[in-house]
Amino acid sequence: MSQRVTPPTPDQPVPVANFDNHGFWEGCRQHELRLQRCRACHIFRHQPRPMCPHCRSLDYEWARASGRGTVYTFTIVHGPTLPAFQAAAPYNVIVVQLEEGPFMVSNLVDCVAEHIRIGMAVEVVFEDATEATTLPRFRPLR
């Protein structure tokens, strides 16, 4: 497993799953990156939403994504930031363009800030942020 970049603290904000997005967070708990894929036009989408913005279909599945992508952009956060994260600063936040097309906000682990590059290939890893929440993070593709 990779190093933890944002240690969990009692006040760490966590996602609350709902009817439209539960498949994403449930997938994370099972260490699978699952994205919404429209059953009508087969286009992947993230962030989750009830309707396909391409064909307006309400019919979708939670499809397993490859977990691979490239870094589209990134920042190194120094702060101020939330107390739950400040101790980890400076830490990175990346936007990954997934192989399936959608973009996703995440963190890059197993990589020092100086080595983060736009365009670098990455793959998903899963880290338990709290007892109930698992977050999809990424590491350089080996």
Contact residues toward another protein (CB under 8 A) are: 6, 11-16, 18, 21, 46-47, 72-82, 85, 88, 90-91, 93, 95, 97, 102-107, 118, 129, 133, 135, 137
Closest CB to another protein among residues 1, 15: 15
Give the integer Cα–Cα distance in Å for 48 and 58: 12
Give the integer Cα–Cα distance in Å for 10 and 16: 16
Closest CB to another protein among residues 39, 97: 97
Place of tokens 């309400």: 58
Place of tokens 């400076």: 90
Q: How far is the CB of 81 from another protein (least distance, A)?
A: 5
Closest CB to another protein among residues 78, 115: 78
For residue 102, give both structure tokens.
Answer: 């959608």
Residues 6+ apart with CB under 8 A from 112: none
Q: How far is the CB of 40 from another protein (least distance, A)?
A: 19
